[in-house]
Amino acid sequence: MPRPTGRVLTLLELLQSGGTRTVAELAERLGVEGRTVRRYVDHLIDLDVPVESVRGRYGGYRLAPGYRLPPLMLSDDEALAVLLGLVAGRRAGLATTQHTASETASAKIRRVLPRHVARRLDTLLEALAFTDQPGEYETPDAEVLLTLADAVHHRRPVSIRYTDRDGRRSERTLHAYGIVAHAGRWYVTGQDARIGEDRTLRLDRIADARALPGSFEAPAGPGPAERVLTAFATAEYRHQVILRIHGTVGQIRAHLPASVATLEEHAPGAAEDRAAEDRVAEEQGAEDQAAERWLRAELRVERLDWLPPVLAALDRPFVIECPDELRDLVIALADRLTSSARRA
């Protein structure tokens, strides 16, 4: 059900369409009673909207002759924030089920924007991709974001000033493939032209972006969102973890998403590996065996202490290939749980 504020704005839109509207007509359009319409009219008057009351048989309400809402004046930053909020909300499933309110709102904003701003924003929306981990997205610097979007659209190199996580500053030439929203942050993925390697960079760490002459060919293969997830899963961290897990991809991904771990089919090698996996398979029912299989999970992490609870919650048979330190942590967690269960 629409909120009162939404109905007041709908009332204003109805009155702006011209002519005199009767209380009965407005009440029907708004889905309220006549006295509620009068209260909404009072709200508009309090906001200095000149609503006139027309008496008589065909009376009702109308706007004062010549009155129009002032033009919607948004800076690039403001328009960008509004449109990104609408797009992110729609991507996160926040749009209404009966009416795609975010789409109509986006269309209205575009109609009143200056043409050059609307073109740049449309280019940006075409360059955006989202992962399956939505969040409350903070709007990055408008000029940086729009410049990168234009570079993605036209396949032009772009010069950026970047500060990495250790505070080191550098100037890079980037061949940007796409802009990706992931877990509440914005990223650009592309090739660092100087070293010829793909990089995923946070937009809030880019201080400046400037288009350069020339062009580049977009690579074939995964899209920008998949590239960002792969970059997270294979990033250089302190520990490399390799696991063999018996289950379905869905069961494993529920606890180790693509941004955390890579998954691939595991072909048992050594005799002891085959024996261990055969024992697990025998413990599974025939139905389970058909749906589940051994998968190899690889991830790189800065700390190991969060992994034992995740593996326990996974509730699937697993083998730790490396590191030994993780094995010790899992055993320690199992001992604590066993001790707590005995005390209970």
Among the ranges given (90-94, 103-107, 336-340), the one the predictor scored with the smallest mean pLDDT? 90-94
Among the ranges given (131-135, 172-176, 231-235), the one the predictor scored with the smallest mean pLDDT? 131-135
User: pLDDT tens for residues 295-336?
Assistant: 999 988 878 899 999 999 999 999 999 999 999 999 999 988
Q: How confident is the model at residue 97 (pLDDT cuts 50, 70, 90)?
A: very low
Average of per-residue pLDDT across 50-74: 74
Q: Residue 182 has what pLDDT?
A: 79
Average pLDDT, the chain: 79
Among the ranges given (106-120, 165-179, 276-290), the one the predictor scored with the smallest mean pLDDT? 276-290
User: pLDDT tens for residues 10-33?
Assistant: 888 788 777 888 999 999 888 889
pLDDT at 256 over 80: yes
Q: How far apart are CA 58 and CA 126, in angstroms?
A: 49
Q: Residue 151 has what pLDDT?
A: 93
Q: How confident is the model at residue 6 (pLDDT cuts 50, 70, 90)?
A: confident
**Domains plus CATH for the chain?**
4-63 (1.10.10.10), 76-232 (no CATH), 234-343 (no CATH)
pLDDT at 292 over 70: yes
